[in-house]
Amino acid sequence: MAGTDVKFLESFFDAWNRHDIDAIMGAMTPDCIYEASSGNETFGTRYSGQKDVRAAVLGLWEGLPDARFSDCSYLVSGDRAVVEWTFSGTARNGNRLVANGCDLLTIKDGKVALKKSFRKFKPS
């Protein structure tokens, strides 16, 4: 399936690290879903559709202005992908977050339709 390759995923995560919201949203379907790794539900917090996902990503960067993914590794199988990473960021109050995690991605029509994020819990 077009778009489901490592270069596409590298480009997608590079956009996250550049804080390029337009590139991120351009790589996601109109009906995209982003399940953040934290929240009050078993799945974290779920954002649906371009408008809500855009707001969630911008909110993440507002809270962690230097947020980034590093040490990424990629596994692709058909329309599914797994990306392992180390996420880091510094909150406005100076608290630093560094945690390993992964995203489970579903690709539809060459774009990310579903991004489910999981990370190790590391108490402050």
Q: Which of 81, 77, 66 is nearest to 27 (CA)?
A: 81
Domain ranges of the chain: 6-117
Mean per-residue pLDDT for 54-78? 96
Just give the CATH number of 6-117: 3.10.450.50
113 pLDDT tier (thresholds 50, 70, 90):
very high
Full DSSP string of 66-113: T-EEEEEEEEEETTEEEEEEEEEEE-TTS-EEEEEEEEEEEEETTEEE
1 pLDDT tier (thresholds 50, 70, 90):
very low
For residue 36, pLDDT beyond 90: yes
pLDDT at 84: 98
Angle CA 101–38–47, to nearest 5: 105
